Amino acid sequence: MTDEKIIELYNVRDEAALKETKAKYGRCCYSIAYNILHTKEDAEECENDTYLDAWNTIPPQKPRILSSFLCMLTRRISLDRFRKRSADKRGGGETVLSLDELEECIPAGQSIDERITAKELSKTVSEFLSALPRAECDVFMRRYFYFDTVSEICTRYGFSQSKVKMMLKRTRDKLQKHLKKEGTFV
């Protein structure tokens, strides 16, 4: 079923939208949640929460790209659960490492002013990523959006670990320079 038809099912409040969403995007949503949380049960709950969130937000929202919309929902829900778990002193692993790597480029927003500029930051990062060579962008997204491990990225693209690590480091450095140039990072 096409994304447009699935969105139309949400718009008319047909529960078949949930079934079709799970059939088409369930594996992707689960994968994102699992890469962040590393437990089957939490990943399944976040996947299901994604469907509920989609049900509650479509309409009024009209996602242009359903897959991206669902990935963003899953990522947000999973990171929220991860933060809660970390606050309870039960987190760690690749998610922390991945977030720590990015922290040197993008400072965590603490003040209201920083939160207000988050949309501007998002636009700047999107522009930066769209200007990257395809492989570099894909590796960066797999690591920092989908939270794939370096080993998983190596397997997916046939690169050595040292190549992936160097690619990520150079891309983070480029991102930091880009953000400084745009005045987003001081």
Domain boundaries, the chain: 3-87, 94-182
Between residues 96 and 8, which one has the greater pLDDT? 8
Contact (CB, 8 A) for 138 and 157 = yes
Which residue type does 83 have?
R
Among candidate residues 80, 74, 70, the one with its CA nearest the CA of residue 34: 74
Contact (CB, 8 A) for 184 and 124 = yes
**Tens digit of pLDDT for each residue in 144-156?**
888 888 999 999 9
According to the model, what pLDDT value does residue 82 have?
85
Domain 3-87: CATH architecture, name and number where available: Orthogonal Bundle (1.10)
**Tens digit of pLDDT for each residue in 35-85?**
888 899 999 999 999 999 999 999 888 888 899 899 999 989 998 888 787
Q: What is the DSSP-derived secondary structure letter of residue 146?
A: S
Average pLDDT over every residue of 161-185: 87
Query: Do 3-87 and 94-182 show the same overall fold?
Result: no
Which residue type does 72 have?
M
The CATH classification number of 94-182 equals 1.10.10.10
Asked which of 1-10, 25-34, 62-71, 92-101 is least confident by mean pLDDT, the reply is 92-101
According to the model, what pLDDT value does residue 105 have?
61
Kindly state the tokens that stand for 20. Answer: 């079709």
**Tens digit of pLDDT for each residue in 168-177?**
999 999 988 8
**Tens digit of pLDDT for each residue in 91-137?**
455 665 566 566 556 555 544 444 445 667 777 888 888 999 999 99
Contact (CB, 8 A) for 165 and 139 = no
**Predicted model pTM:** 0.65
